[in-house]
Structure 1
């Protein structure tokens, strides 16, 4: 009996050794294949000491005079922001959504010491591309992938607490991009509702808006998506009922980034983005790493004719409601709404 037991122990031992040797090549193949899959998806391993270098023809620079001129522009914007924050009492930390520091949408890149509050529909696609490049995704992969850029970014930029954000700001440059509130709103409406992908969240939202706000008197040729007045009525009802965080594409930039209680070093603007981008890239020392980007420039860029066409369909009451909600965005970033109210007056409503 002892011999039999010893015999089976030896057989089992040899079997395990043989199995391990046989499976080793398969394990190696799996690991190599797994790494290749990661590379194909863009999750390539990044050597943190390696800094990607743009080809010479892709490098854009500013002259010293331009840097000085744009620096003065940034100083004026920071000064106006500080004055308006104090004027409206927004620089006092509180518990409501206008006064409580919100770090939720910040992307913190510790390697390159740059921090961005991502205001949607304010060159967000362009800078999401850049931040994904800084996170280690190759530009070639980003050009080809069907993945949502924001989802890719969040895998590399986890959300931070306000304490972690302030700590990271000690040796980083923090920036945001401002855009005229009514331009941004129209761009978001067209991108997310007019051109909504079938069966997407915004496609379903649009159908709900149509069911609730469309008059039965409209003819059969009316679009399946909400008209701009229908969308505005829905938006004003969301605001009225306190659902001020109704959608990240429509929410006020002031509420979204809370710039009165979180410090910003650079405030870029959509209307001066060409120069402002170059200035930020120069300021962060990233001229050989990223280049200025203009993505979604066609569908999302509103001409004056488009703005007039859509906003002239609103009533004075609706325009006033929109202005009241976006008032801080107008004031803090020096935008005017007078021309839009003139459209309503000319329309006689």
Structure 2
């Protein structure tokens, strides 16, 4: 009986050992499967994270291609300037500028980024002055678009190249070695933009322009404004008489006549002075020529080129409808005078690859 019990105990012990070994083996298999699963998952995740890198390379390729196209366009623009300036000695013209440095009054400088910007009124210069103020530390980038429109103009003297009171040689060195930038637009669109802003708006600035310039234009070029004031009888006559003092209601054709009567457009108000008289592209070699039509791209690439802070960008802007209105306003100008107007600004057309505007007779007012 004792032998049977002993055998039974041995059998139970053996069974327990075998069961324990089988359990341990199953645990090892499960652990190995888990390791395999972890490895597979890791590999899968690795493949997933590499996909964006492939997309980034593709995007990089596209960006590089876009940059090359932009650089090609820039070279084309600069070549057009060189062609227009052919036959003129750039060194001689630069010396002439240095003889009369006051003509460089539209050049702003940023020594930190070794760059110069020539601002042109009515070609987004207010926005660019604002960006330049942030670039030079005169305005906090975080407050860039909170300040009134006028504030960048108040900072112009502080950012001016002439404000540094440089010696002739120091001025020459900066003009020769700094990265130089300007922005232009179609010459007649710029004129129309200036006219609408200074003579058709009701801003404080416009009221000054109307009194200073508009009143003279009306008195000189408007027919029927020469009658003596005592002979005025109608409300229209009284309005015309008032216009001769206030400058209200200036017509675009009168503005054109005013410009054509000027012997030298290099001395007129900066808002309608030619590009050549503001920025001197035959004397100063500009590295980047921006255009109003490609303003955002040109501005962004220039900022990156000079190493501007990553957070500083030229803002998105809503294009004006000036180009759409141009033909309507030009229709009020007689064909002969329109031809003379384009001749007066022909250098701007040549330098920056702009075509003249032909307004069909049936479109004229």
For the Cα contact (< 8 Å) 2:182–2:288, is it kept in 1?
Answer: yes
Residue 66 of structure 1: SS of its match in structure 2? helix
1:117-174 deviations in whole A, cap 9, x for unaligned?
1111112122111011113212426523464422223224352666444312454210
For the Cα contact (< 8 Å) 1:114–1:284, is it kept in 2?
Answer: yes
**1:312 aligned residue:** 331
Q: Which moved more, 1:139-148 or 1:259-268?
A: 139-148
Q: By how many angstroms is 1:193 displaced?
A: 1.7
- 2:203 equivalent to 1:184: no
**2:359 aligned residue:** 342
Partners of 2:282 and 2:176 in 1: CA distance: 17
Distance 1:267-1:163 versus aligned 2 partners, 3 A rule: farther
Q: Which has the higher helix share?
A: 2
Q: Which has the higher contact order (CA 8 A, sep 6+)?
A: 1
Q: By how many angstroms is 1:77 displaced?
A: 1.0
Structure label with greater radius of gyration: 2
Report how many aligned residue pairs link the two structures.
Answer: 279
Distance 1:212-1:90 versus aligned 2 partners, 3 A rule: farther
Partners of 2:175 and 2:90 in 1: CA distance: 18
Gaps in structure 1 of 5+ consecutive residues: 1-60
Partners of 1:227 and 1:133 in 2: CA distance: 38
**2:48 aligned residue:** none
**2:46 aligned residue:** none
1:51-84 deviations in whole A, cap 9, x for unaligned?
xxxxxxxxxx992221111011111111111111
- 2:73 equivalent to 1:66: no
**1:75 aligned residue:** 75
- 2:134 equivalent to 1:127: no
- 2:225 equivalent to 1:225: no
Q: By how many angstroms is 1:326 displaced?
A: 0.7
Q: 2:346 aligns with which of 317, 322, 327?
A: 327
Distance 1:209-1:141 versus aligned 2 partners, 3 A rule: same
Using the size of structure 2 for normalisation, the TM-score is 0.68
Q: 1:285 aligns with which of 289, 307, 312?
A: 307
- 2:326 equivalent to 1:302: no
**1:143 aligned residue:** 146
Q: By how many angstroms is 1:342 displaced?
A: 2.9
The CA RMSD measured in Å over matched residues stands at 3.1
Partners of 2:327 and 2:251 in 1: CA distance: 15
Distance 1:312-1:163 versus aligned 2 partners, 3 A rule: farther
Partners of 1:276 and 1:68 in 2: CA distance: 13
Q: Which moved more, 1:154-163 or 1:64-73?
A: 154-163
Gaps in structure 2 of 5+ consecutive residues: 1-59, 226-234
- 2:220 equivalent to 1:215: no
Matches within 5 A, 1:24-35: none
1:257-279 deviations in whole A, cap 9, x for unaligned?
11011111011111111221121
Partners of 1:156 and 1:84 in 2: CA distance: 30
Distance 1:174-1:67 versus aligned 2 partners, 3 A rule: same
Partners of 1:249 and 1:279 in 2: CA distance: 26
Partners of 2:67 and 2:286 in 1: CA distance: 18
1:162-221 deviations in whole A, cap 9, x for unaligned?
644431245421011111000111001111221153475313122232222222279467
Distance 1:268-1:100 versus aligned 2 partners, 3 A rule: farther
**1:197 aligned residue:** 203
Matches within 5 A, 1:220-299: 224-238=248-262, 240=263, 242=264, 244-286=266-308, 288-294=310-316, 297=318
Using the size of structure 1 for normalisation, the TM-score is 0.70
Distance 1:219-1:347 versus aligned 2 partners, 3 A rule: farther
